[in-house]
Amino acid sequence: MITDFILARSITGLSELSGRSLLGFLFSSLGQESNQTLACPEPTSLLDIYPTLIELCELPKSDHTEGISLIPQLTDPSSSRNQAAVTSSYFGNHSIRSRDWRLIVYEDGAMELYDHRSDPDEFSNLTTDPAYQLTIIELSRCLPTEATLKFKQNSERKRSIR
């Protein structure tokens, strides 16, 4: 499994969401053979670790937990997730990552869309191509509906545009 915990670079070069870090998850549990290594192509979030551990330890679930358990992917690495991995940075800047797509939405309304099947390095922003408008609409449904508190008064993106 690969988790994205920092949003992809902006092709505009003005983004606070610069750099992209991929973090590989490696899970091992009792009862599994140590030489069994299976890759899972689904993107995940660091927020998914806690619900996974809660389920593995058979502890009570909390209604306030963010993230989703990775048990389905640990059981069958080829199984798909029902929810995209969402990463937020500052107020209103979000990355939505599915198995094939990444949509980045900025506070100022700018967007970037990448097809990871053909463009894993995110060089071709597809947001202006009418053929991908349905993909943008579908991925946009995963955007957070409630704003969280800002940690900084203004994002670097806003400061660099002025």
pLDDT at site 74: 81
The pLDDT profile of the chain, 162 residues, written as one tens digit per residue, is: 433 333 333 333 334 443 454 566 666 665 656 556 677 788 888 888 899 889 988 999 888 888 888 888 888 888 888 888 888 877 788 999 998 999 999 989 999 999 999 998 999 999 999 999 999 999 999 888 776 665 555 665 665 555
Task: Give 152's contacts (C-beta < 8 A, 6+ positions apart).
Answer: 90
Smallest CA-to-CA distance from 20 within 116, 109, 158 is with: 116
**Residue 24 CB neighbours (<10 A):** 8
In one letter, which amino acid is 43? P
Strand, helix or coil for residue 76: coil
pLDDT at site 126: 98
User: Measured between alpha carbons, how far is 115 from 67 in angstroms, rounded to an integer?
Assistant: 23
pTM for the structure as a whole: 0.69
First to last CA, the chain: 39
